[in-house]
Amino acid sequence: MKKLVSTLAIGAFFITGLMVMGCQSSSQKADDAQAKVEEAKDDLQDARQEANEATQQAANAEQWEAFKAETDVKIKDNELRIGELKVKMKKSGKTMDSVYANNIENLEQKNKDLKIRMDGYQTTQSDWESFKREFNHDMDELGQALKDLGVDNKN
């Protein structure tokens, strides 16, 4: 008997709930529908943004590999130039001043720092465009300094 009473009570509760929901005015139904449409639009926009980010990350991975290969070549070229300057300094037979030797050591350290910075970017993954611009600028400055150091300005 208790089961029958509780089943009837639960059934009455559901029927009352359905009647209340079924008695919504058309404006309430329209508002609910509009809210669902807005929610669906937000979900769609979020999905598009996530897809764009995934595509951009894939492009960045390709760009990163190309940029890394290019800069590795430049760093190795700088290492060769520094080695040539050291050999030139030793072969010249003249005693090079300590400023020249210091300059070579400073340029060698800058080249090592650039290599470390390049390797460090892979772990930090900061702003790609900013990193690329600053790194290229520093690499160009180092290349120009190496060229200027190798030029004999004594005329």
The packing angle between helices 128-150 and 98-124, to 10°, is 160
pLDDT of residue 124: 65
pLDDT of residue 39: 87
pLDDT of residue 155: 39
Helix H or strand E encompassing 49: helix 26-91
Cα–Cα distance between 90 and 85 in angstroms, integer? 9
Terminal Cα-to-Cα distance of the chain (whole angstroms): 117
Cα–Cα distance between 71 and 114 in angstroms, integer? 9
Q: What is the pLDDT of residues 59-86, one digit of tens each?
A: 577 888 888 899 999 999 989 998 888 8
Q: What is the DSSP letter of 119?
A: H
| pTM for the predicted model, two decimal places | 0.57
Segments of the chain with pLDDT less than 70: 8, 13-14, 17-25, 52-59, 92-97, 123-126, 150-155
